Amino acid sequence: MEQMERCAWDALQEQARSEQAANLRESFSVKGAEDGSLLKATEQICRKAGLVPSGAAQAMSRENDLCRAVLYVYYDALHLGLIIPGMIGQDLNWNASNGAYQFTERGRRFLSSGEVSLSSPGLLPNRVREVVDSTAISPALIPLTSEAQRCWAMGCLRAAMVLIGLSVEDVCTELLGALRTYPSPPREGSAAFANWAQAVDESKSFYPRWQAGLQSLERVKTELRKTHGAQRPSWWATWEPVPGAIQPYGEAVRIGRNAAAHSVEDVFTAAQVGLLLAALPSMLRVVSDLMAFLANPPAGVSLPQF
């Protein structure tokens, strides 16, 4: 069942990356006779993986594991605000029998960068473990991530946000530490130097350091683009997500330290917390790749002054 859910997320991701997903005059559906339904697309992926025989997804029934997996993912995506039911410009119940839906802008961006189903209790920690096992990131994140997912599933969103902040704080701090040993820091007296100096100053509070660090990383990315952007080398994928893919996690640390821990006025939605959780493995991979690049650039690449 868990493997089928992964296939359904893969199918949803493929749909989100298509041109149709950006067209408000077109929609997708959970089921239907057309080949473009989520059920049909999932069936094809599952069949290639040897998970279902041909024709196993002919009926939407509770006894059919494939159909249930697709429905779990569909409702997960609705819950997270990645898709909306129906189609813009139509009645609210338009094509409801087939489960018509369209992608939100946030959903298209999120699904293009990677996602994890939160409906499977062990899947998120397993994905985090995969990243931990192949990087220098501390395995202490795994139980924190598991507990954060459990809190999210129980509706304890404030507790989940605190745990997310705890899980990523050390990782974010290590990334800032990588800037401290940067071989070509900005010229003293420049605005770039002021940002860099704040980012590496451990006496400063976390959030101003994080904001300054993101600006420094973005400047490095700009300089690398000037010298290597035309060739689009394979290592450019390391810098492509900067700063958007990692920025929200600094916010999670701030919220975890301050708002979630001390203020009862701030309200966290299940979608807000769920998106941070689901994208966590991707964020960890991005940060790990950035730290590895800064510590040991690829052959022929010199870290630029910014």
Three-class secondary structure assignment of 145-203: HHHHHHHHHCCCHHHHHHHHHHHHHHHHHHHHHHHHCCCCCCCCCCHHHHHHHHHHCCC
- Asked whether 70 and 38 are in contact (CB, 8 A), the reply is yes
Quick one: which of 172, 282, 192, 182 has its CA closest to 237? 282
For the chain, give every domain's residue range. 2-113, 123-295
DSSP 283: H
- Asked whether 282 and 113 are in contact (CB, 8 A), the reply is yes
DSSP 235: G
Work out the angle at residue 155's Cα, subtended by the Cα atoms of residues 149 and 158, and round it to the nearest 5 degrees: 80
* pLDDT in the model for residue 123: 73
* pLDDT in the model for residue 107: 83
Alpha carbon distance 149, 49 (integer Å): 28
* pLDDT in the model for residue 60: 45
* pLDDT in the model for residue 165: 87
* pLDDT in the model for residue 59: 44
Counting as low any pLDDT under 70, the low residues of the chain are 33-35, 53-63, 113-117, 119-122, 259-266
* 71-97 pLDDT per residue, tens: 988 988 887 778 999 988 888 888 888
* pLDDT in the model for residue 57: 46
